Amino acid sequence: MQIYVCVKHVPDSAANIHIVDNLKIDESVPFLLNPYDEHAVTEAAALKNQVPGSEIIAVCLGKKDAESTVRSALAMGADRGVLVETEKTCDSMATARALHAAIVRDGPADLILTGKESIDNEGMQTQFRIGALFDFPVVTNAVSLAIKNGKATVTCELAGGRTRTFDLTLPCVIGAGRGLNTPIYPTFPDVVKSRKKPIETITLSELNVPAAPGSTKIVAMTPLVQKRHPQKITGSPLAQAAEIIRILRQEAKVLS
Amino acid sequence: MKQAGIIIEAEHGQVKETSLGVITLAAKTADFLTALVMDGITHEITEQLAEYGIHTIVDLSLPEAPAIRLNPAVRATAVVQAARELNLDRVLGLSSPEGKDLLPRVAALLDAPLVMDCVDVDLNTGLAKTSQYSGKVMAQIQLTGETLVFGVRPNAVPPEPRPVPAKTVVMTENKAVPENITLLSWDNGDSEGRPSLVEADIIIAGGRGLKNKDNFSLIIDCAEKLNAAPGASRVAVDEGWVPYALQVGQTGEKVSPQVYIACGISGSIQHFAGMKTAKMIIAVNKDENAAIMANCDYQVSGDLFDILPEIMKQL
Ligand SMILES: Cc1cc2nc3c(=O)[nH]c(=O)nc-3n(C[C@H](O)[C@H](O)[C@H](O)COP(=O)(O)OP(=O)(O)OC[C@H]3O[C@@H](n4cnc5c(N)ncnc54)[C@H](O)[C@@H]3O)c2cc1C
């Protein structure tokens, strides 16, 4: 099986985000492989164990330094990487077109894995757009996956413990959710080995991707800080509980 | 702008409050509102939609058989067909669990821009407001294209009545199931009867402070008493005390309830990412210096094992 895993280079979730010119973030913070994509790479590695001879290709659209994220995917089990390099900020429509073009150029895909969303833009849609461009079926927030007889049987979580199980014909696109697996944390030898694995770099302009008919563009950014002024609820547990109930009833009006 | 179409979510024969909120939001900037209803129209649904400002109610008349009706590919195709036929150039829905699966499919099929989890939209100018970077940033996003799609965060806008006369149209196009995606089975979990995490007015969430799985039942019981949804920090999920479905945060659900009661949760940046837009935060914590105590509306410093049973007793 030829398994493509789309990975994104995103700011560490613990990083303090500073906004520059009310428009973009200061990028001098640590960047990492998007956490949901870790589940996608881990699943690809598990599938490769089941279907020997499979190849896992990590595909990334990003700036030059996104190479370190591709390298992380290689350390977690991908065989090689493709970095589509651009200095531009691409929205999900443009990103899906670039990833689609990079995969088409590279070879036929049996399976495309992505994370269910990226933790920077939180767009939740690139997987669906890639699927539409290929005309492959798509599911998202996958929490279990089995491949058998040319079909993927996938269980997806809707939240609240609700699930849906699908059969998808291959090739298909699957957005990995957190319940899918426990990400592989690469060992030192894995990291050393990954340094020898090839990463092909292509520029976005080289790919000649046709423009999308629409776009999304950030026009302003503000820090999301809620000015809260904490008030203390003191006294015995009895008094504290009574005050909480009073607040729920009289202030928040959520209890009758 | 020509027309806005709103994908309606209904439950037990009634439009969800959160969906009525989407109508109210759309009505701020659109004159003509079309409701797209997938799971059957009741008299009550028609009345509610007219009461909140819908002019045309479209019954997408999906087949009864759940394997077809619940197939997201079938649902997305039905919405796209209606959007094309009725010339809807703005499509809105909820960033609810279903919406997260449906709206991106609709946008991908229409090849139209989409912003998910909006807290505000202007349908005329195509501007949307949404949080990014794990809830640390509020971004204003300009959408351009012929058709624009918006996912609205549940509870972002309180519904306001705006009665108009509404007419109903039934769409009966072919709702064939695509061959490449088959819905085999579905499980509605055990949360029936409980408000869902993303839609609840009150969430009572527990973290490491609960110490073990047995103790976590304190949160579940308290939720039941308050008609609240139980939530959890990642620690509680990773320790196996509760299923992942209850996790609030950057890698869990993003919620905006009226009140969020955090019990034994320190308020890490990743937890805040999921609940910072709660209208009111009440923190119950032993440690006065926990991050959440500086970033809440009410600090209840004390032992949750004393305070929660007392709340239950007094209700
Ligand atoms: C990539 C990534 C993604 C993440 N995503 C999420 C996410 O989505 N959601 C999430 O929650 N976390 C997430 N985390 C984890 C996060 O960083 C914290 O580890 C986690 O939120 C801490 O959970 P907690 O507050 O329950 O535990 P702790 O930080 O250990 O806090 C426990 C609190 O309980 C209090 N306490 C203890 N006993 C009592 C008692 N008897 N009465 C009252 N108070 C008591 C303590 O004072 C303390 O403040 C993520 C981390 C990473 C790296």
> In this complex, do B107 and A229 lie within 8 Å of one another by their Cβ atoms?
no
Q: pLDDT band for position B1 (50/70/90)? A: low
Share above pLDDT 90 across residues of chain B, in percent, rounded to a whole number: 84
Q: Over chain A, what HEC string results?
A: CEEEEECCEEECCCCCCCEECCCEECCCCCEEECHHHHHHHHHHHHHHHHCCCCEEEEEEEECHHHHHHHHHHHHCCCCEEEEEECCCCCCHHHHHHHHHHHHHHHCCCCEEEEECCCCCCCCCCHHHHHHHHHCCCEEEEEEEEEEECCEEEEEEEEECCEEEEEEEECCEEEEECHHHCCCCCCCHHHHHHHCCCCEEEEEHHHHCCCCCCCEEEEEEEEECCCCCCCEEECCCHHHHHHHHHHHHHHHCCCCC
Q: What is the pLDDT of residues A63-83, one digit of tens each?
A: 999 999 999 999 999 999 999
- Whether B197 sits inside 8 A of A242 (CB atoms) is no
Report helix, strand or coil for B143: strand
Query: What confidence score (pLDDT) does residue A223 get?
Result: 93
* Helix, strand, or coil (residue B98): helix
State the pLDDT at residue B193: 64
- Strand-pair category, A9-11 with A31-33: antiparallel
Of all protein residues, the one whose alpha carbon is nearest to atom 37 of ligand 1 is B209
| Closest ligand 1 atom to Cα of B274 | 8
A159 near B CB under 8 A: yes
Question: Of all helices (H) and strands (E), which one includes residue B280?
Answer: strand B280-285
Tell me the pLDDT tens digit for each residue of A174-217: 999 988 999 989 999 999 999 999 999 999 999 999 999 999 99
User: What CA–CA distance (Å, rounded) separates B257 from B242?
Assistant: 20
Pocket of ligand 1 (CB under 6 A): A 13, 35; B 207-209, 233-235, 247, 249-252, 264-266, 268, 270-271, 274, 284-287, 290, 303-305
Q: What is the pLDDT of residue B24?
A: 98
pLDDT digits (tens, 9 = 90+) for B40-78: 999 999 999 999 999 999 999 999 899 999 999 999 999
Query: B197-314 sits in which CATH class?
Result: alpha beta
- Asked if the domains B3-170 and B197-314 are classified in one and the same CATH topology, the answer is yes
- Which residues have C-beta within 8 Å of that of residue A33, sequence separation ≥ 6? A7, A8, A9, A10, A41, A69, A72, A73, A76
Q: Among A195-199, B123-127, B134-138, which is the least confidently predicted range?
A: B134-138
Tell me what pLDDT residue B172 has: 82
Q: Does residue B2 carry a pLDDT above 90?
A: no
Domains of chain A: 2-207 (3.40.50.620), 226-256 (no CATH)
Decide if B186 and A132 are in contact by the 8 Å CB cutoff. Answer: no
Please give the mean pLDDT across all residues of chain A: 96
CATH topology of domain B3-170: Rossmann fold (3.40.50)
pLDDT at B314 > cutoff 90: yes
What is the reported pLDDT for A160? 65
A118 CA to centre of ligand 1 in angstroms: 22
Put the strands of the sheet holding B280-285 in their side by side order.
Answer: A231-233, B298-301, B280-285, B259-263, B202-206, B229-232
In angstroms, the CA B89 to CA A42 distance is: 40
Cβ atoms of A158 and B75 closer than 8 Å:
no
Domain ranges of chain B: 3-170, 197-314
Work out the average pLDDT over A18-34.
Answer: 96
Tokens of B115: 């912003």
Tokens of A219: 């026009």
Check: CB of residue B33 under 8 Å from CB of residue B167: no
Write out pLDDT tens, residues B174-228.
Answer: 777 899 999 999 987 765 567 788 888 999 999 999 999 999 999 999 999 999 9
Residue scoring higher pLDDT (B86 or B193): B86
Please tell me the predicted confidence (pLDDT) of residue B251: 84
HSE-CB at A207 with a 13 A cutoff on CA atoms is 27
Residue B131 to residue A132: CA distance in whole angstroms: 26
**Distance, CA of B108 to CA of B149 (rounded, Å):** 10
The dihedral through the CA atoms of A153, A76, A98, B80 has a sign that is positive
Residue in chain A lying closest to B116 (CA): A123
Q: Mind telling me how many Å the CA of B148 is from chain A's nearest CA?
A: 8
Residue B90's pLDDT is 98
Is a pLDDT exceeding 90 seen at residue A256? no
B30 pLDDT band, cuts 50/70/90, is very high
pLDDT at A227: 81
